[in-house]
Structure 1
Amino acid sequence: MTGFSDLTRLVAPRSMVIVGASAREGSQGRRLVDNVLVHSGFDGEVYLVNPGSKEILGHPCYPSVADVPASGIDVALVIVSAVHVLPALEQCAAKGIAFAIVMSAGFAETGDEGRHMEQAIAALCRRTGLRVYGPNCPGLVNLRLGLGMTFSPAFKDDLNSGAIGLATQGGGLGRTVLQALSFGDGVGLWCSGGNECDLGLPDFIAHMAVDPHIRVIAVLMEGVKDGDRLRSALALARANDKPVVILKVGRSEQGVKAAQSHTASIAGSARVNSAVFRQHGAVEVQDLDELSAVARLLAAPRPAAGAGLAIVTFSGGTAALAADIAGAAGLPIASFSPSTSAALRELLPAFANIANPLDTTADIIREPALVTRCLRLVCDDPNVGAVMFPIPMDYAGITATMAGAIIEAASAQAKPIVPVWMSRRMGEGFKAMEEAGLLPFLSLTDCVAALRHLWPAAAPAATASAEAKAPAAADAHHAPSGEASSAALSESDGKALLRKAGIAVPEGGVAGNDSQAVELAKAVGFPVAMKIVSAQIPHKTEAGGVRLNLADEQAVRSAYQSILDTVSQRQPDAVIDGVLVEKMFPAGGREILIGVHRDDAFGLVLTVGLGGIFVEMLKDVAHRALPIKPQDASEMLRELKGYALLEGVRGQAPADIAALEDLLLRVSRFATAQGPRLRELDLNPVWVGRDGEGAVPLDALVVLDPAH
């Protein structure tokens, strides 16, 4: 794995040492010992370190790691007070131990002193090659091997394994997901990295991406420590066809603060986070129930191309309601093949609705075997990719028998059969399906929210609630302030930089007097636009420094003097380099905004949106972390709510979408080449002509970091 360490010795060790092992019942050190020695099926070597004990559970205790007689140990499990962690890790490094899992709290999440201790651990890792997992974490659980390197008292009760990999930063919510998957395909490996001073989510995702026992990766993320490594890990998962399902905490200002106080990391902008996940094929969900449900669904075979959803139930009203909710969410509803319809018609009462949704009528309750036969017929239909079976009420033993029939049908099918238990009375049928691994949903809406991810085209790019709650920092295409403004290039210098990079900008030049302005206007051809040139005036319109559609010499001379007079009144301290005279582009072009800003988590991020009111009022923008690929440029534009305006509406000719996509790629290359010295780029507006006429930035703000 390029850029990622092999974690095999961490997740499947053959030897370990427990630093902070305790004989005291109820202590974290004792629970850790019990989980490893009593509740795990671990048959490797285990060494205990506790200077105050001779032995625990028949195992001898050593005063320190240095006193342990073995060498080449795979993992050290460290659960001592924070001030004793670094000395213990130094001994681990000296002993040649490969990995250490530090469960102790009291580090960066507590303030400066803890942060300094954590930084010392990171420095030790860089100096010695020891890899540290944690601190401030619940440990690591490999359920496929029945191994619990954790102090959690719940380990012994949560042993259902499966093909789902779980990577989290917090421990409590990770346990919630683990317990939500107590039946059926469960969690095979759970990595919960806490403060991530060394190893973190990208490392765990990358390991799971190449683990042959993992089919889908569920991620519960509070903050982004290293955006580039996260992107690399997501790309690795995508390359290995491992779906990644992410729940990102911190979509609101309150959530950001909570995430930072918990794991002391960067929460990032909600919109940028969502865009990066989408860019790398990850599925973003909105709550814990959806995280576990979607992970479980994606662990099963995906629907074949063209196959849709079938709805089967025994209540006409329920069938209509389920179809309504599924249709509103954009799920494809399957059409039964003629042979399926004919077979169902022979099987069911004459008054049953044979179409999809299939209403078998309540008559089926008297003969539950029909449920199994109906489901088999529906699942055998090549037009069907998944089946939803809503159960609107509990009829005690009758419903339990029906549940058994559903279980029987599901056990013989590769296609998912997804029950929805709609009654608040949890009867025997619910329990039977739960324990059989069908994990029935409790509402049609929740079921549809999960099912839509089986058909990616039905899943929205981002939810309205997430957009509404996004921190203000998401709109970073606005002008810089403070120190950033001092590094802004004048428009003419900025455009010169763009022109050198192969980005077309309007013809023109800078005039030092009205006569030069006239000569430039004649050279480029009337009409022209004229704008003040000053590095101190990034927003020229507000300063009165812009005049448009100047059609002759007299208009140019008047505009030149008018611009200087107005700007000198509004910004008397600005240094004026002259007036930029440029060819005026014709009316009728679409206005587009293209911007680049530096995100704390992911570095340079590209933004595109329809100009004018679509940006200012509707926030109709799309984001991608740089660099982008041609597919990203195309997808960004198609994410815009107003994309139809580019295609042409009400007789309008389509815009030059190909040229706009090419411009996005050129901007990506330009920004990436600038590297850390680029602080911000704002091309607004970009004129996009009709198909074949091109896409040209009419205004450009380039802000560079003086330190680079």
Structure 2
Amino acid sequence: MPKDNYEPYVFPDLTRLFAPRTVAVIGASEKEHSIGNHAMRNIVQHSAFAGTVYPVNPKQAEVMGLRCYPDVASLPEAVDVIVVVVPAPAVRAAVEQAGEKGCGFAVILTSGFSEADDWGRAEEAALVEISQRTGIRIYGPNCPGLVNLNLPLGLTFSPAFKDDITPGPIGLATQGGGLGRNMIQHNVRGIGFGLWSSSGNECDLQVADFVHHMAQDPEIKVIGCLIEGFKDGARFAAACQEAARKGKPVVGLKVGRSAYGARAAQSHTASITGSAEVNSTVFRQMGVVEVDDLDELVDVAMLFTRKMPEGTEKIAVFASSGGAASLCADNVGIAGLELAEFTPETAKRLADALPPYAGMSNPIDTTSISISHPDAYREALAACADDANVGLVLAPLPMDYGTYSVVNAGSLKAVQDAASVPIVPIWMSERQGGGYAKLAEAGLPPFRSLRNMRKAVRRWIDYGLWRAARDTGWQPGIIATGSQGDPDPTRTLSEVEGKRALAAAGVPATAPEIATTAEDAVRIAQAMGTVAMKIVSAQITHKSDIGGVKLGVTGDGAAAAFAEIMANARAAVPSATLDGVLIEPMAPAGGLEAFVGILRDPVFGQVMTFGLGGIYVEMFADVTRRMLPVTRPMAEEMIGELKSAKLLTGYRGQPKRDVAALADLIVKVSDYAMATPGLVEMDINPVWTGTEGQGVMALDAVIVVEE
């Protein structure tokens, strides 16, 4: 059920976590290679921290020339952040003292908590209690810390921090540390990160809080997320909604899309990994650009820093190799993207700059002038980038030509400085020479393969389309209700109860009656005409599997059908309580079957699944999903997204179906689910869909609610 005391999220102000004025390191040490020593070095020696640092260690008088304090209670002031690197048994006391003193944040690098054992889970729960009682916010535990590379400041024990300081406009929110550091180290490609949080077990602060903070930071243009599990789906959805409102794309990689990954992720962070299908649904609706790997996340984020897409961009390909030009253009086509048609003005400029044997249509092949006439190469590139029909220029570089590559990299930089569209190099050679380094230094980080380029540009364009179509007034219902977790004890409504509830909500459904005797069956069938008959039992869900369904029955056959259904049910499930046989009018012949289902995900709440019936769902898994509520435009989108959607619109002589009525039913089902907080699961299958004007009808419904 909904939380009685639930209120929509008020996100914490994390300004003093990322830009503190005072920091205390609990467990600071002079011992070389120790975690406490690395943490101190990163703040004192490798950061540009202008605030005050307080080492805390009862065994040392000073650390790195700074006076050392025996404990947090003895500090001369309440600090903005304590960085905790002591063993797990000593963590609680340090955080308790910091909370009582009025410190703002505790960054707990120590492991051995909920990810480890029962003792660790109890200690982590105690940390949460301290946070709630004193107001100190907890980052971690079991994490490598956080960094603000735009200052720079490293509240981390990582010995790599000093080598990874490349400021930039990308924010990164992860749970694990090693993979986050992997992405940060794309700085060698010229890709800069401004903020990185790696929040570990997230006993208090979560990825969602950092997404929200980065959405407010004017220096951050795009936010990357690496998520192993969700502590609070509603909080994440609310943060992503804020990022979209601020115009900050979120690029997400979710670990746990297979059973193997899900188990590993849950053991790593002790979070809920969730359903991969539901996670992808949430990402898509909230505008999170879902990617498949770390390098893809970085590539997509990098592209967003270059320019925000409109979704209508057409592509130009500019190369000095005919093979590279053709292969790049092929990848543009594979991605479903469109090459630009050059204007007459561009065609003239290209003809003036290039030799007559060059390829001047899109894709462009300049041939060897990149070596012999670098000025002509630069002029041709400028003509391409200035074309009114071009929204993005791809520049595949298949080989390293030493100093010539350096000169051409300079040309790309010079043209980009004057152009309004992004010029995106693709460095295809395994040899990274001076040209590669010059591109990285110039703020033109190259893609490393045409495959990665293809995926990144497709996702970039798709985000522009999502922004253009986004309903800014819609928000998922879970933001208002909060994540509800696993259901309480449940019960399944009888089909009669379920259909009556649907009908009361405006969902077209048959009006069944229940026969408890053969005589009842005859009377009801004679009044209805041709009928469908089904066993009624709370213990029998799949009625047709046990011979509990008869279709096309008339009054004359009703008594025999009743007897056969009851006998089949007794034989199949002897312990079942049989309440009788449900009788309802048969739908007209020739209808197409669809289904609508609702499942309450423990992380992200009610999610609808829609598809056509029969083999389309069973064999081809042809379904589409949405978080609730589903609006009428969303319902139409769901219908149109099916691979089998043509069957609804008159494919190859088939009659057009009543798509408008089907969309209405989808919305009505969503409305019913939203108005039924205790709804755990609903399966309306089949939904009879007639031809245009005939309407739709819910022929069967299984509805599960909390007791």
Length-normalised TM-score, structure 1 = 0.92
| Residue 619 of structure 1: how far off its partner (Å) | 1.4
In the alignment, structure 1 residue 545 sits paired with structure 2 residue 548? yes
| Residue 363 of structure 1: how far off its partner (Å) | 3.5
Q: State the secondary structure of the residue aligned to 2:318.
A: strand
Aligned to 1:398: 404
Aligned to 1:369: 375
Aligned to 2:105: 99
Comparing 177-186 and 536-545, the one that deviates more: 177-186
Q: Which protein has greater RCO, CA pairs closer than 8 Å, 6+ apart? A: 2
| Residue 423 of structure 1: how far off its partner (Å) | 2.2
> Among residues 603, 626, 640, which one is paired with 1:638 in the alignment?
640
| Residue 281 of structure 1: how far off its partner (Å) | 0.8
Comparing 214-223 and 577-586, the one that deviates more: 577-586
Comparing 433-442 and 610-619, the one that deviates more: 433-442
> Among residues 522, 531, 548, which one is paired with 1:518 in the alignment?
522
Q: What letter corresponds to residue 365 of structure 1 in structure 2?
A: I
In the alignment, structure 1 residue 530 sits paired with structure 2 residue 533? yes
Q: What letter corresponds to residue 6 of structure 1 in structure 2?
A: D
Q: CA RMSD in A?
A: 2.1
Q: State the secondary structure of the residue aligned to 1:177.
A: helix
Are the structure 2 counterparts of residues 378 and 661 from structure 1 closer, same or farther at C-alpha, using a change threshold of 3 Å?
same
Aligned to 2:476: none
Q: Is the 8 A contact 1:266 1:600 kept in 2?
A: no
Aligned to 2:277: 271
Aligned to 1:597: 599
Aligned to 2:623: 621
Q: State the secondary structure of the residue aligned to 1:704.
A: strand
Aligned to 2:385: 379
Q: Could you list the runs of 5+ residues in structure 2 that have no partner in the other structure?
A: 1-7, 467-486
Q: What letter corresponds to residue 556 of structure 2 in structure 1?
A: Q
Q: Distance in 2 between matches of 1:400 and 1:339?
A: 29
Are the structure 2 counterparts of residues 429 and 63 from structure 1 closer, same or farther at C-alpha, using a change threshold of 3 Å?
same
Comparing 355-364 and 114-123, the one that deviates more: 355-364
Aligned to 2:75: 68
Are the structure 2 counterparts of residues 204 and 366 from structure 1 closer, same or farther at C-alpha, using a change threshold of 3 Å?
same
Aligned to 1:463: none
What CA deviation, in whole Å up to 9, does each residue of 1:105-156 have, x standing for no partner? Answer: 1111112221111111112222222210100111111111211111111111
Residues 109-508 of structure 1: pairs in structure 2 closer than 5 A: 109-182=115-188, 184-304=190-310, 306-456=312-462, 487-508=491-512
In the alignment, structure 1 residue 683 sits paired with structure 2 residue 680? no
Q: Is the 8 A contact 2:252 2:291 kept in 1?
A: yes
Are the structure 2 counterparts of residues 405 and 590 from structure 1 closer, same or farther at C-alpha, using a change threshold of 3 Å?
same
Q: Is the 8 A contact 2:189 2:446 kept in 1?
A: no
Are the structure 2 counterparts of residues 44 and 394 from structure 1 closer, same or farther at C-alpha, using a change threshold of 3 Å?
closer
Q: State the secondary structure of the residue aligned to 2:492.
A: coil
Are the structure 2 counterparts of residues 81 and 628 from structure 1 closer, same or farther at C-alpha, using a change threshold of 3 Å?
farther
| Residue 392 of structure 1: how far off its partner (Å) | 1.9
Comparing 343-352 and 421-430, the one that deviates more: 421-430
In the alignment, structure 1 residue 51 sits paired with structure 2 residue 58? yes
Comparing 625-634 and 303-312, the one that deviates more: 625-634
For these two proteins, the number of residue pairs brought into alignment is 680
Q: Distance in 1 between matches of 2:433 and 2:325?
A: 21
| Residue 397 of structure 1: how far off its partner (Å) | 2.4
| Residue 613 of structure 1: how far off its partner (Å) | 0.8
> Among residues 20, 39, 42, which one is paired with 1:13 in the alignment?
20
| Residue 516 of structure 1: how far off its partner (Å) | 2.6
What CA deviation, in whole Å up to 9, does each residue of 1:458-492 have, x standing for no partner? Answer: 999xxxxxxxxxxxxxxxxxxxxx998x8222211
Q: What letter corresponds to residue 502 of structure 2 in structure 1?
A: L
Q: Is the 8 A contact 1:686 1:696 kept in 2?
A: yes
Q: What letter corresponds to residue 581 of structure 1 in structure 2?
A: I
Residues 556-595 of structure 1: pairs in structure 2 closer than 5 A: 556-595=558-597
Q: What letter corresponds to residue 25 of structure 1 in structure 2?
A: E
| Residue 304 of structure 1: how far off its partner (Å) | 4.5
Comparing 653-662 and 214-223, the one that deviates more: 653-662
Q: Is the 8 A contact 1:21 1:33 kept in 2?
A: yes
| Residue 656 of structure 1: how far off its partner (Å) | 2.4
Aligned to 2:480: none
Q: State the secondary structure of the residue aligned to 2:223.
A: strand
Q: Distance in 2 between matches of 1:88 and 1:508?
A: 66
Q: State the secondary structure of the residue aligned to 1:404.
A: helix
Q: State the secondary structure of the residue aligned to 1:101.
A: strand
Q: State the secondary structure of the residue aligned to 1:405.
A: helix
Q: Is the 8 A contact 2:311 2:462 kept in 1?
A: no
| Residue 438 of structure 1: how far off its partner (Å) | 1.8
Q: What letter corresponds to residue 70 of structure 1 in structure 2?
A: E
Q: Is the 8 A contact 2:530 2:555 kept in 1?
A: no
What CA deviation, in whole Å up to 9, does each residue of 1:2-30 have, x standing for no partner? Answer: 52111112111112221111111211111
Comparing 438-447 and 511-520, the one that deviates more: 511-520
Comparing 264-273 and 654-663, the one that deviates more: 654-663
Q: State the secondary structure of the residue aligned to 1:696.
A: strand
Q: What letter corresponds to residue 652 of structure 2 in structure 1?
A: R
Q: State the secondary structure of the residue aligned to 2:575.
A: coil
In the alignment, structure 1 residue 700 sits paired with structure 2 residue 701? yes
In the alignment, structure 1 residue 108 sits paired with structure 2 residue 109? no
What CA deviation, in whole Å up to 9, does each residue of 1:674-706 have, x standing for no partner? Answer: 22x333211111112223333322111112233
Q: Is the 8 A contact 1:65 1:88 kept in 2?
A: yes
Q: Distance in 2 between matches of 1:385 and 1:578?
A: 66
Comparing 414-423 and 514-523, the one that deviates more: 514-523
Q: Distance in 2 between matches of 1:181 and 1:559?
A: 73
| Residue 351 of structure 1: how far off its partner (Å) | 2.1
| Residue 582 of structure 1: how far off its partner (Å) | 1.0
Q: Distance in 1 between matches of 2:592 and 2:247?
A: 39
Q: What letter corresponds to residue 278 of structure 2 in structure 1?
A: V
Q: What letter corresponds to residue 418 of structure 2 in structure 1?
A: A
What CA deviation, in whole Å up to 9, does each residue of 1:380-411 have, x standing for no partner? Answer: 11211111111222222223322222222223
Q: Distance in 1 between matches of 2:310 and 2:232?
A: 36
> Among residues 30, 35, 52, which one is paired with 1:23 in the alignment?
30
Q: What letter corresponds to residue 64 of structure 1 in structure 2?
A: D
Q: Distance in 2 between matches of 1:15 and 1:705?
A: 50
> Among residues 30, 40, 47, which one is paired with 1:40 in the alignment?
47
Q: Distance in 2 between matches of 1:491 and 1:265?
A: 37
| Residue 631 of structure 1: how far off its partner (Å) | 4.2
Aligned to 1:77: 83
| Residue 203 of structure 1: how far off its partner (Å) | 0.5
Instruction: Give the percent of matched residue pairs that are identical in Structure 1 and Structure 2.
Output: 49
Q: What letter corresponds to residue 513 of structure 1 in structure 2?
A: T
> Among residues 631, 647, 650, which one is paired with 1:648 in the alignment?
650
Q: Could you list the runs of 5+ residues in structure 1 that have no partner in the other structure?
A: 461-481
